Chains A and B, each alone.
Chain A
Amino acid sequence: MGILDSIPHVQAVPSHRPWPRAVVTEAGWQAAIDRLVEGGLTLLGFWGEPAAVHMAMLDGGSAEIAVVTYECTSGTFPSVASRHPPALRLERTIHDLFGLVPTAADDLRPDLRPWLDHDAWGQSYPLAGRNASRDVRPYQFLPAEGEALHQVAVGPVHAGIIEPGHFRFTANGEHVVRLEQWLGYTHKGIEQLMQGADLATAAKLANRTSGDSAVAYAFAFARAAEAALDIQVPRRANYLRALMAELERLANHFGDIGAICNDASFALMHAQTGILRERCLRTADTAFGHRLMMDVIVPGGVAREVSPDGITALRTLLADIGEVFPRLIELYDNTASLQDRTVTTGIVKADYARQFGAGGYVGRASGRDFDARRTLAYAPYDHLSFEVPVLDTGDVNARVWIRIREVEQSVALIAQILDLMEPGEIRIAPPAGRGGCEGLALTEAFRGDVLVWLRLDGELRVERCHLRDASWFQWPLLETAIEGNIIADFPLCNKSFNCSYSGVDL
């Protein structure tokens, strides 16, 4: 049974690919929320337009996805967040950008506090396409009351080389009673800049949504465009894309493993993984002409061939990792002072990981067996063999181990791709004049699944594009993971999540 079979809808949208999209009335919208609340479906994305809201949902069992659309004829829509908490920040964002108002019964009053809007843009509801003003009130953090409690405010400018965000801790002595995050500091208005942009410009913007996931975003954006246009890219292009995606995953996992250990005052690991990370970036530069491989993946394929030196460099890299990394794993496993900090620290409950549909190492360290590369089996992963590691302790240690196991899988994947890749075309031109069309794609970035939803007009210009980082559903879990831990362990917990700021703020 398909997702839409159990959700009453009035009209399916034929130009939406590869999964269905349907317009629903209030009854259908509430039925969709019911399915999310009871856990039958997972919320994948929730985004707005000037007069409509969309929800993408996943049936994990059948690996099926559907999008439901509610048309906000009176500027309001039934609140999703008041019944399903994972939707909260997305709902506040929709209100900030479009001015659409979520409604609910009085006892479930929607949270209308701004999320991205810090009252600095000089305009309200910038994507609404109409002038409107909003009431400006000082931002209210959620209260925590008690005689012994005190607050610690951190950010947006932090002590390290790190993206800006604000953390408000309420502590009882050293123990964190509540953490509330307030982000939005890196909001650049990417989705508005994309409106009216041609595919090449929009792809560049997608590349710069979150610099550490440049490849994953370019990959997801390209696949969404290709789904909308209903085109297949050449086989070799798919292999090259996966090569870059795995190289990016390796570089980031090395960086993270070292940085987590560094936050537990174990700098040796940081120094060693820093070397491996740098080797990955230099290999990327040799093979694809850019250390972060920006602007190589484009709609229709890839923009450049891998250099002949690049293939050699990749094989050398795999050999280097094979020699050094097992020793580093052993070092991690045998250092009691390190384990003392990571084991049982910052636990994400399995129920929360499932409810929030947490992707990447955050979800997989808490028992959520989902990886877009396998569950949705997009090319070329549909005929590559790899394993998806899953653990269930949900602590910092588990998130380190998931990364360690994924490094091993990525090394094996790169080796397979190098063996399987045959000469051939690497790019096809997008067809012109196809008329309006819509595409949706999910790609597995190093920190979890990236969703891109795209509507193109007849001239291949972007009418509306929504990019959803895995971090949307991971940041809130960090708030739960730190509860009961000491403030000094926050950097460690935070690093083990390594959520994106730019990817969420857009």
Chain B
Amino acid sequence: MRKTLLESLTHGSLTEPAPLPDDSALAELAAKVDRAAKARLGRSLAIREVDAGSCNGCELEIHALSNAFYDVERFGLRFVASPRHADVLLVTGPVTKNMRQALERTYNATPDPKWVVAVGGCAIDGGIFRGSYACVGGVSETIPVDLHIKGCPPSPTDLLKGLLALLEHVSGKR
């Protein structure tokens, strides 16, 4: 194992350059994020992930953001354990009716200013589960959404593009 670690030191990092922020995401955000919030947050966002009934595919790719290739923390993006510590709720799933109240409560527990990012096809409009007796269908039907990241599931690069767009906008860099 020591050999592996030494090799890691000499071979350089696996971490890849950041993708450009998603343009359509920037456009979506332009209307929603106000200047005061930008000033308060700087270039750092704490993210609370909420699974509102996904198949777990989106969670797997969100997990991947923390691996050595994407290393999301280098952008000041980090996942936190409590909504009380969060600036961003990253919500997946078609919002099952059994999760609706928990999602609302998590949203209410998150201090202002806050943003909601809906991740994956289900979170946009229920996706393949739309019309089910057990699903609300789309995060925006339960809590206000600031940004959608498409895909089934979105790849870590897609997620990163969306989150970087949010970060750029929040920090008022553009």
- Partner of B63 from the list A157, A161, A188 (CB cut-off 8 Å) is A161
CB–CB B1/A330 < 8 A: yes
Tell me the smallest distance from the CB of A464 to a CB of chain B, in Å: 16
CB–CB B56/A210 < 8 A: yes
CB–CB A156/B55 < 8 A: no
Which one of A123, A162, A214, A502 has the highest number of Cβ atoms from chain B below 10 Å of its Cβ?
A502
Known contacts A161-B49, A189-B135; A210/B99 CB under 8 A: no
CB–CB B67/A157 < 8 A: no
The proximity string for B residues 56-89 relative to A, scoring 1 for CB distances below 8 Å and 0 otherwise, is 1111111110111100000000010111000000
Which one of A55-63, A267-275, A427-435 is at the interface?
A267-275
CB–CB A188/B53 < 8 A: yes
Which one of A179-187, A383-391, A436-444 is at the interface?
A179-187
Q: Does A164 contact B (CB under 8 A)?
A: yes
Which one of A4-12, A140-148, A201-209, A229-237 is at the interface?
A201-209
User: A185 vs B134: C-alpha distance in the bound complex, in angstroms?
Assistant: 10
Known contacts A188-B96, A212-B56, A277-B67; A205/B102 CB under 8 A: no
- Partner of A186 from the list B1, B51, B60, B155 (CB cut-off 8 Å) is B51
CB–CB B56/A278 < 8 A: no
CB–CB A291/B55 < 8 A: no
CB–CB B60/A185 < 8 A: no
Q: Which of chain B's residues have a CB closer than 8 A to the CB of A162?
A: 51, 59
Q: Does B162 contact A (CB under 8 A)?
A: no
Q: Does A149 contact B (CB under 8 A)?
A: no
User: A274 vs B14: C-alpha distance in the bound complex, in angstroms?
Assistant: 12
Q: Does B171 contact A (CB under 8 A)?
A: no
CB–CB A160/B53 < 8 A: no
User: A161 vs B153: C-alpha distance in the bound complex, in angstroms?
Assistant: 15
Tell me the smallest distance from the CB of A171 to a CB of chain B, in Å: 20
The proximity string for B residues 1-37 relative to A, scoring 1 for CB distances below 8 Å and 0 otherwise, is 1011000000000100000000000000000000000
The proximity string for A residues 494-506 relative to B, scoring 1 for CB distances below 8 Å and 0 otherwise, is 0000001110010
CB–CB A156/B57 < 8 A: no
Q: Does B131 contact A (CB under 8 A)?
A: yes
Known contacts A186-B96, A192-B133; A275/B69 CB under 8 A: yes
- Partner of A275 from the list B14, B93, B101 (CB cut-off 8 Å) is B14
Q: Does A211 contact B (CB under 8 A)?
A: yes
Tell me if A's interface is mostly helix, strand, loop or mixed: loop
Q: Which of chain A's residues have a CB closer than 8 A to the CB of B161?
A: none
Q: Which of chain A's residues have a CB closer than 8 A to the CB of B14?
A: 275
CB–CB A278/B99 < 8 A: no
CB–CB B132/A186 < 8 A: no
For chain B, residues 137 to 161, give those with C-beta under 8 angstroms from any C-beta of chain A: 152-153, 155
Tell me the smallest distance from the CB of B129 to a CB of chain A, in Å: 5
CB–CB B4/A188 < 8 A: no
Q: Does A130 contact B (CB under 8 A)?
A: no
Which one of B52, B67, B68, B100 has the highest number of Cβ atoms from chain A below 10 Å of its Cβ?
B67
Known contacts A157-B106, A272-B4, A330-B1; A214/B57 CB under 8 A: yes
| Besides A118-B97, A185-B53, A330-B1, 9 new A-B residue pairs in contact (Cβ under 8 A), listed by A number | A118-B98, A126-B134, A164-B51, A164-B53, A186-B55, A187-B53, A188-B94, A274-B66, A331-B1
Chain B interface (Cβ within 8 Å of chain A)? 1, 3-4, 14, 49-64, 66-69, 79, 81-83, 93-94, 96-102, 106, 128-129, 131-135, 152-153, 155
25 of the cross-chain contacts (CB-CB < 8 Å) are A116-B98, A120-B101, A122-B97, A122-B133, A159-B81, A161-B49, A162-B51, A186-B96, A186-B98, A187-B53, A187-B96, A187-B98, A188-B94, A188-B134, A190-B129, A211-B153, A255-B60, A274-B66, A275-B69, A277-B67, A278-B64, A328-B4, A500-B56, A502-B55, A505-B96
